[in-house]
Amino acid sequence: MIEQDEPHALRRYIRNRAHGRPAPEYHRFDHALGCWIESNETEADGRLDGKAFRQVRRPGLPWCQWLGRDTRIAEDHALQAYFELHAREPHDWQRLFKEVTRNRRRALRDWQREGLGLLARLRAQEALGADVLFPSDLAEEFRPPGKGMRSLRNA
């Protein structure tokens, strides 16, 4: 069952990854705006009094580099397995951001399902042993020249 705000958290996670914006660890109070805005460690150094500057990240508590204290996306192993396979390059996050912007709930559901399939495949291969390999999606056995069923090169 998908929580109500989990698709929104996924969208924020992908947006921050796509634009290279990690979660701020410090906030400062802006009196002109009347709200807390993000800050950095250099600006807050020595002034963490809780009134003008505060540290959002607490030592010993879980922290996501992209969402801060909200760690549910970072702790979802199925999603992280999906991201490992589909977001190897920085520009891949832009494609994922477009997908999640179109439909958050469907992206969350599909990506979790595909991630669970990847994890199940890894567990099955782990149970069989290191010497047994499942056929890969990229057909790695045919990548080197002169290998495979239709090789034109005589070895």
Dump pLDDT digits (tens) for 113-123: 999 999 998 88
Boundaries of every domain in the chain: 1-22+70-129, 24-43+51-64
Say what the pLDDT of residue 53 is: 83
Q: Is the pLDDT of residue 124 over 70?
A: yes
Band (pLDDT 50/70/90 cuts) for residue 13 is very high
Dump pLDDT digits (tens) for 50-105: 678 888 888 899 999 999 999 999 999 999 999 999 998 989 999 999 999 999 99
Residue 79 CB burial class (10 angstroms; 0-12, 13-18, ≥19): buried
Say what the pLDDT of residue 54 is: 83
Alpha carbon separation from 154 to 62, 141, 142, 143, 150 (Å, rounded): 57, 17, 15, 16, 11
